């Protein structure tokens, strides 16, 4: 079994795989657990709840865009799993040819998403990840990471509106029944939800034209993917665990070369 962790700025998504089968998965707040032992106690509790043996984990693989938690997280893996974690980065075989001007700038989560999208859905592909930032990644049919777009995330935008406008409340992120709001809350919800739907569809269409490839698959992932995908005209598939799937695939590609 392997333990895969997608460490973001807002959440940490974790999953346990036996071969291709996902046995269990969890999502926690990234900044809630600070020390190695806090992470360790969390891992032990989650595994026990699902009836999984923490000692049966053969390897741990991590994709992270949050360096601040990595020291504690890696220490927890060494102490509680007795394993040296595999960190997705330089030296790890992914099968993706990065065409970014500086390949080191591409987040490990984006690479994992690209790997999973190509393996599961085929290329070319555009991956829209609704996280702390909303990111768009273009991957060619030749397994080339071409680049992408980075926008403020949905929650970040909603929170900024609340923080900077004195009379606007903090709102629940749900889709209102109509675009034209009849009160402040529904008007804000409409602006956030339908505004992001419009943003996604416009950017995806522009990216498709620039990619100059036929039959581009558009896959959405992230905690708020379903909220936008239900209204989007361009999103074809939603896979909330795309990054974990990418980590599973990357792990087996590297083990095959050992």
Residue 31 has pLDDT above 90, yes or no: no
Q: What is the DSSP letter of 195?
A: H
Give the best-scoring range by mean pLDDT among 90-99, 151-160, 216-225.
216-225
Backbone angles phi, psi at 148, to 5 degrees: 180, -160
Residue 258 has pLDDT above 70, yes or no: no
Backbone angles phi, psi at 81, to 5 degrees: -105, -10
Check if the beta carbon of residue 253 is closer than 8 Å to that of residue 93: yes
pLDDT at 184: 87
The residues with which 150 forms a beta bridge, in sequence order, are 135
The rounded distance, in Å, linking the Cα atoms of 254 and 81 is 20
Q: Residue 85's closest CA among 1, 2, 11, 18?
A: 2
The top-level CATH class assigned to 2-87 is alpha beta
Same fold? 2-87, 97-247: yes
pTM: 0.88
Check if the beta carbon of residue 223 is closer than 8 Å to that of residue 130: yes
Domain boundaries defined on the chain: 2-87, 97-247
pLDDT at 127: 97
Lowest mean pLDDT among 20-24, 83-87, 90-94, 113-117: 90-94
255 vs 60, higher pLDDT: 60
User: Residues 173-194: what's their mean pLDDT?
Assistant: 89
The top-level CATH class assigned to 97-247 is alpha beta
pLDDT at 256: 64
Residue numbers annotated as active site: 109
Helices (DSSP H) in 101-183: which residue ranges? Answer: 108-120, 154-164
Express as a percent the part of the chain with pLDDT over 70.
Answer: 98
pLDDT at 160: 86
């Amino acid at each position: 079994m392997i333990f895969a962790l997608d460490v973001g700025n807002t959440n940490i998504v974790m999953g346990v795989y036996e071969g291709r089968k996902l046995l269990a998965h969890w999502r926690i707040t990234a900044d809630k657990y600070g020390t190695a032992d806090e992470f360790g106690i969390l891992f032990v509790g989650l595994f026990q709840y699902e009836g999984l043996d923490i000692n049966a984990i053969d390897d741990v693989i991590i994709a992270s865009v949050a360096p601040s938690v990595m020291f504690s997280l890696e220490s927890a893996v060494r102490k509680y799993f007795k394993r040296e974690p595999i960190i997705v980065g330089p030296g790890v075989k992914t099968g993706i040819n990065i065409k970014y001007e500086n390949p080191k700038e591409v987040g490990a989560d984006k690479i994992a998403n690209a790997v999973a999208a190509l393996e599961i859905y085929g290329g070319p592909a555009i991956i829209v990840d609704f996280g702390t930032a909303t990111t768009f990644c273009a991957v060619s049919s030749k397994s080339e990471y071409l680049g992408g777009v980075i926008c403020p995330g949905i929650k970040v935008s909603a929170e900024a509106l609340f923080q900077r406008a004195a009379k606007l409340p903090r709102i629940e992120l749900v889709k209102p029944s109509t675009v034209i709001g009849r009160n402040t809350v529904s008007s804000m919800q409409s602006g956030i939800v339908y505004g992001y739907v419009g943003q996604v569809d416009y950017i995806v269409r522009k990216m498709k034209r620039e990619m100059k490839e036929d039959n581009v698959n558009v896959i959405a992932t992230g905690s708020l993917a379903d909220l936008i995908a239900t209204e989007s005209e361009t999103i074809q598939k939603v896979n909330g665990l795309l990054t974990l799937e990418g980590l599973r695939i990357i792990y087996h590609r590297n083990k095959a070369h050992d």
